[in-house]
Structure 1
Amino acid sequence: MEQYIDIDPIVTKYLREETLSPEEQAALDAWISQGEGRSRMLEDLRNDPTSIKEKLLQMEQMANNRIWDSIVSRVQQDGYWKDEPAVPTLPANAPAARNFGWRYLMAASVLLLIAAGAYWALNRTPAAAPAVTAQQTPAADVAPGGNRATLTLADGRKINLDSSVNGLLASQGNTRVTKLSDGQLAYNKTSEEKPQSPAFNVLSTPRAGQFSLALPDGSRVWLNNASSLRYPVAFTGATREVELSGEAYFEVAKDANHPFFVHTTGGPAGPATIEVLGTSFNIMAYNDESAERATLIDGSIRYIHGHNSALLKPEEQSVLDATGNLKTLSNVNVAEITAWKNGYFHFDHASLETTMRQIARWYDISVEYKGAIPPQQFVGKIQRNMPLSSLLKGLTGEHIHFTVEGRTVLVQP
């Protein structure tokens, strides 16, 4: 698995021509081997006659430990993008990434992010880390999504969480539902009295919406756009069970005596079940995707579909396609899969169709394709809080262009 967090300082140290420790050299060698053209790209940058090396030498004086954080702040402060596309697009059979050049703010590797962002990171006044809230959007542009959701109570009442004030929202039996100052929902018992009959709530996010909640057992759930989660107001039986349609990230409270189950209802191959003891994982079960995917961050889960099942270890992913075929992938890019929860799109050689499906859900737009568009791959990490036009500017390349007509994006060569 690529070391997105630890490789930044190692690459920078290498470009400064400092001696690497055996562990650092091994990490760098592994990173180079995982991406076509990275070795040549490193040498091109190391031998570049411009002042990149001088700029990188100054990195050691920066307050932030993460170069990436500083670069993102500069990109945001300077209006998201500079003169070049932020995320290069390439046909599938394109030559090595070294042809892109370091001038891109975002490119085919963390290395180019460091090299291009160094100028802004070093020559501007430090700014705060990127905010999750949306940036100001011109009237003619399309704004990004945000914290939007509807809570359906057990009696059928609906609460619009976009406009509701913080504090107590409802009392259901011996449980109080509260909206916290950070926008999260919380469920708190007022007594140990067991409810006479199970009561369920449903949290639903629209396209261009997301929300998080703390379940009655203390488990936390982040719900992505166009998703819904059905769950009991109080867990009272031998198991803890919820139903999911769409995508969510779970941090399940450990309770070996009460296993946790997630039943998916929206995947392309029909219902499936994830059995959990105590762990963190991501589930994507949209019906417009080609497969349902469960990705384990830590702990252990068992993915079950019909008579087939897969026991996952950390950094493994179960993939259930539309025909019911179940397989397990190892060493998956966890940073890419969970980036949405932290306010980013993260593309790691993502296809055009995969990329545009994510964008369409987050901006609540439709996408139309016109003409013969060469196969594209997108690589990079982009904030989800920018207007649509800024995002599309970063995706535009020699072989692909975007036109926005109302809430429809036309994609053409």
Structure 2
Amino acid sequence: MTSTDEQDFQAMQQIARLLLRRLQGTITAEEATLLNQWLKEQPAASQEFYAQITSWPEIEAELLKLDNIDDKAAEEQMREWLNVQKPGKRVIWSYWAAAAAILLFIGTGMWYINSHPENKQPTSQPQATRYQNEVLPGSDKALLQLADGSTITLDSANKGELTIQGNARIVKNAEGVLTYESTNNQAPVYNKIVTPKGGQYTITLPDGTKVWLNAASSLRYPTAFTGNERTVELSGEAYFEVAQNANQHFRVNTNVSGHLPMNIEVLGTEFNIQAYADEPALTTSLVSGKVSVNTNNQAVVLQPGKQALLTKNADIKVQQANMEATIAWKMGFIYMEDTNFEEIMRQISRWYDVDVIFEGKTDKQFNGKIPRDTKLSTVLKALESTGWVQFKVVGKTVTVYPTAQSSN
């Protein structure tokens, strides 16, 4: 760091601590005087940012849980932030995750707006006008389609045995996971589990394979696996933890509108497949083991940490996977790393079950991590804190208004 950077860091650190103490209600009279004096000297954009963070109940609730501040970790993260900033990028911090992250978010957020007046957030419409209602995050919910065409709503179904299908008892266990238990030697039949927008669900298949389904997804599978293959059909996104069976290869087939069919063959492994019709490519990301990805007379074998992309022009591309980003949804996060805005809004649309209307475009890329159990308004306010976009929420419709600087 230069001497100027070091001065910036020290000032940022001091203000971050004062802000944290005020939010926690532990600030002394002397410290409050210092903070108030500093706030008076800041431009309107910084004062508005302060007003926003002090009015978010999620911050207050999490701050009250904190007993100890990891000063060393906070200092290291703030120094790293100063060293890694790049022109044209801004970070949305996961500020409620830990004390150090909160210090980092508050300190650098104020510092960044204060240091870059050209990026002030427009205030043509107050948030109270634009956020006309709240939208809650998605939850565990899905519909089970049985072989005879009847359905069971899983989120409202009682735990225990739900029904019998072919040679299997269908059970919703104590954790709410759908499981299959073999009962006799009758021929298997096919079931299908479907998650709506705003839903997710976990299922254990008849062979012991565990599958996590993301929102707006479906999985078709037999009530028992016979022969030398275990084949399922996926639309949407799912994370697979495949039960090992060297005598039965596990196969996932996708057949998504606008994309070529994709076939993934494995023996025993963990991997993620994203196969949404509105995404530009189908992706298979390998966590462990080995998989073969096949389509249109092309085949590639993935090693752990690699990702296969099947684009609409029928080419398979293999690249290094950002595994944290790939499985963030399963771990409960909306994750952004140089992520384009349209991709972020597709995630938000699926998880919050909202329609998105764009009143213009932004070419900015976003970075950050936000818990998926967060209310929609908090997610949108975090995105707005970049100064690149504003939102209006009416019912289940989110309208996006990129700002003038979002295409600079």
**What's the TM-score, normalizing by structure 1?**
0.70
Q: Find the residue that maps to 1:412 and give its secondary structure.
A: strand
**% identical aligned pairs:** 40
Structure 2 residue 172 is the aligned partner of structure 1 residue 219? no
Residue 157 of structure 1 is matched in structure 2 by: 150
Which one has the bigger helix percentage? Answer: 2
Give, as a single letter, the amino acid of the residue that structure 2 aligns with 1:207: K
Give 2:117's aligned residue.
none
In the TM superposition, residue 157 of structure 1 has moved relative to its aligned partner by: 1.5
Contact in 1 for aligned 2:251/2:265 (Cα 8 Å): yes
User: C-alpha offsets along residues 84-134 of structure 1, whole Å, 9 cap, x if unaligned?
Assistant: xxxxxxxxx97176x87xxx7449xx9983752699xxxxxxxxxxxxxxx
Matches within 5 A, 1:250-289: 250-266=240-256, 268-289=258-279
Structure 2 length as normaliser, TM-score? 0.71
Structure 1 contact 267–285 (Cα < 8 Å) conserved: no
Whether 2:226 is the aligned partner of 1:236: answer yes
Whether the 8 Å CA contact 1:274–1:301 is kept in 2: the answer is yes
Q: Given the superposition, is the C-alpha separation of residues 105 and 243 from structure 1 closer, same or farther in structure 2, using an over 3 Å criterion?
A: closer
Q: 2:185 aligns with which of 190, 194, 202?
A: 194
Question: Kindly tell me: are residues 77 and 167 of structure 1, through their superposed partners in 2, closer, same or farther at Cα, counting changes over 3 Å?
Answer: farther
Q: Deviations over 1:61-97 (max 9, x none)?
A: xxxxxxxxxxxxx99452589xxxxxxxxxxx97176
Q: CA 1:51–1:266 in structure 2 vs 1: closer, same or farther (change >3 Å)? A: same
For the pair 1:408 / 2:397, whether they are aligned, the reply is yes
Which of 101, 109, 117 matches 1:113?
Answer: 101
How far off its partner does 1:390 sit?
1.2
- Offset of 1:268 from its aligned partner? 3.7
Question: Which digits, 9 at most, give the CA deviation of each residue in 1:257-290, with x for residues without a partner?
Answer: 1000000112642211000000000000000100
Q: Conserved in 2, the CA contact under 8 Å of 1:317 and 1:328?
A: yes
Relative distance call for 1:117 and 1:399 in structure 2 (3 A) is closer
- Match status 1:385 vs 2:373: yes
Q: How does 1:4-403 map to 2 (within 5 A)?
A: 44=6, 47-49=9-11, 51=13, 76=58, 78=60, 95=87, 105-106=93-94, 113=101, 115-116=103-104, 140-190=133-183, 193-195=184-186, 197-266=187-256, 268-330=258-320, 332-371=321-360, 373-396=361-384, 397-403=386-392
In structure 1, list runs of 5 or more residues that go unmatched: 1-38, 56-73, 82-92, 120-137
Larger radius of gyration: 2
Q: Give the Å deviation of 1:172.
A: 1.9
Residue 219 of structure 1 and its aligned partner are, at CA, apart by: 0.5
Corresponding letter in the other structure for 1:363: Y
2:251 is paired with a residue whose SS is: strand
State the distance in 2 between where 1:95 and 1:77 align: 28
- Separation of aligned partners in 2, 1:241 and 1:255: 13
| Counterparts of 1:162 and 1:288, CA distance in 2 | 26
Q: What is the alpha-carbon distance in structure 2 between the residues aligned to residue 50 and residue 116 of structure 1?
A: 9
For 2:284 and 2:7, how far apart are their aligned partners in 1? Answer: 38
Whole-angstrom distance in 1 between the partners of 2:88 and 2:343: 22
Q: Secondary structure at the match of 2:370?
A: strand
CA–CA distance in structure 1, aligned partners of residues 261 and 60 of structure 2? 46
Amino acid at match of 2:391: F
SS in structure 2 of the partner of residue 395 of structure 1: helix
CA displacement at 1:52 relative to structure 2:
6.0
Shift of 1:140: 2.6
For 2:198 and 2:159, the matched residues in 1 are separated by 21
Q: CA deviation at 1:323?
A: 1.3
Q: Cα distance 1:52–1:304, how it changes in 2: closer, same or farther (>3 A)?
A: farther
The CA distance in 2 between the partners of 1:264 and 1:367, in whole Å, is: 26
Check conservation: 1:260, 1:275, Cα contact below 8 A: yes
In the alignment, structure 2 segments of 5+ residues that lack a partner are: 18-55, 64-84, 108-130, 403-408
**1:194 positional shift:** 2.5
More displaced, 281-290 or 261-270?
261-270
The equivalent residue for 1:31 is none
Provide the C-alpha distance between the structure 1 equivalents of 2:376 and 2:9, rounded to a whole number of angstroms: 37
Q: Read off the aligned partner of 1:379 and give its amino acid letter.
A: N
| Match in the other structure for 2:30 | none
> How far, CA to CA, are the matches of 1:218 and 1:335 in structure 2?
25
User: Matched residue of 1:247: which SS?
Assistant: strand
Tell me how many residue pairs correspond in the alignment. Answer: 316
RMSD: 3.1
Matches of 1:208 and 1:177 in 2, distance apart?
Answer: 24
| Cα distance change on mapping 1:160 and 1:310 into 2, 3 Å | same
